[in-house]
Amino acid sequence: MPIDLRTRKLAQLAVNYCIDVKPGEKVIISGSSEAIDFMVELYKAVILAKAHPIVRFHLPNTSVFFFKYATKEQLEFFPEYFMETLKFADKYIGIDTELNTRELTNIESEKISIRSKILKPIKDYIADNDKNIMRRVTIAYPCLAFAQEAEMSLDEYEKFVYSACLQDWKKLGKQIEKIRKIFENGSEVHLIGEGVDLKFSINRKNAVADKGEENMPGGEVFMAPVRESLNGWIKFDYPAIRDGKEVTDIFLRFKDGKVIEFSASKNQDFLEKMLNTDENSSYVGEFGIGCNPRITKFTKNLLFDEKISGTIHLALGSAYKENGGGNDSAIHWDIVKDMHKAKIILDGKVVQENGKWKIRGIKI
């Protein structure tokens, strides 16, 4: 069967741009059955880069079985063998697909929370490590389950995914870098408008521009708010999905950084458990701003949704080291808000209004 040339271009983008594979490097390719064609193209691209592919394949329909029947010992088992493989590798490519996005919907939240805490060192090593130790990318690939969630045909979803990924990242990256510099030199943020009145400090902390090197698609600027600085409230327009559970109409009120009041119209009990995961899970570890002009539709896939132009997102829980840290938690849960009827004010100046940038030279 002939290969979709867009798949080959995406694989080449991942290997040659996102993680910049060099000869002799060891590259983990991690994916599932929905992405076999893509894994093959990634394998070929790694070989052509004169590097060494390490394939990690996830069996379908095993996660729900594990959580249903695993013993306490199995649930708390730490896969040291995989941690050693990560330390052995130089680069990591994680493919974002699902066979069934709601597979874990009926699994006890407590079991998922326990497992998340056990696997946290692995997640931290992959997602929050020094790039000089291991460079990684989480990359999208079109699959039927995500197309269904996005309410698109598979053909429509394929066009959406490839459009968001296969673009001029050097040109877009320059625009995102300009936004990053504005925020890195800023101190106080005020989000105000329909569904939000929230103030917090970023106190010239490290702002990071996602130019498609660690996430593909990329397209955001993100930073860590000063932990105790959030005061006010926010109501999120889009549902937040985690571990197969969809939480809708999330409302959060903050005082001195901590969530002191919360509600949701669906799965509020799950929201409460996430907020109570540990002592830091009710604080915010990330404030992000969507900057990908080709992502305009909410699809229930965070890899895309947090990049929607005209949105912001807050992440409950841990703050990334590259943002300067400030909060350590077993969770990092991004929740997206539409800002097309609101403003982002930085140090008293409106920098974005109704989803449009007010910064000279920014055309996203």
What is the rounded average pLDDT of the residues 114-132?
86
Q: What are the φ/ψ torsions at residue 47 (nearest 5 degrees)?
A: -60, -45
Confidence of residue 127 (pLDDT cuts 50, 70, 90): confident
What is the average per-residue pLDDT within 170-183?
Answer: 95
pLDDT of 218 strictly over 70: yes
C-alpha separations of 122 from 84, 98, 115, 181, 275 in Å: 10, 20, 12, 31, 22
Q: Where are the domains of the chain?
A: 5-165, 169-357
- The verdict on whether omega for the bond into residue 2 sits within 30 degrees of 0, i.e. cis, is no
Helices vs strands, H then E, count in the chain: 11, 20
- The mean predicted confidence, pLDDT, of the chain is 94
Residue 305 near residue 320, CB atoms below 8 Å: no
Q: Taking residues 45-68, report their average pLDDT.
A: 96
Average the pLDDT over 271-289 and give the result: 95
Asked if pLDDT for residue 1 goes beyond 70, the answer is no
Amino acid sitting at position 304: F
Whether 50 shows a pLDDT value over 90: the answer reads: yes
Q: What pLDDT shows up at residue 206?
A: 87
Stretch 227-256: mean pLDDT, rounded? Answer: 95
Burial of 61 (0-12, 13-18, 19+ CB in 10 A): exposed
Which residue matches tokens 């829980």? 317
C-beta atoms surrounding 192 within 10 Å: 14
Q: Which residue stretches of 23-168 are H helix?
A: 36-48, 63-69, 72-75, 80-88, 109-127, 144-149, 154-165
Determine the Cα–Cα distance for residues 120 and 132; give it in Å rounded to an integer: 20
Which phi and psi angles does 221 have, rounded to 5°? -120, 130
Q: Which CATH class is domain 5-165?
A: alpha beta
* pLDDT surpasses 80 at 132: no
Q: Which is nearest to 189 in space by CA: 226, 143, 162?
A: 226
pLDDT, average across residues 275-294: 96
Q: Which amino acid is at 218?
A: G
Average of per-residue pLDDT across 125-134: 81
Q: How much of the chain exceeds pLDDT 70, in percent?
A: 99
Its sign, for the CA torsion 246, 247, 249, 254, is negative
pLDDT in tens, 298-312: 999 999 999 999 999
**145-154, 210-219, 256-265, 315-324 — which is least confidently predicted?**
315-324
* pLDDT (0 to 100) of residue 203: 84
| Mean pLDDT to the nearest integer, 95-105 | 91
d(CA 91, CA 281): 29
User: What's residue 270's pLDDT?
Assistant: 92
Does the predicted TM-score (pTM) go above 0.85? yes
Average pLDDT value for residue range 20-30 = 98
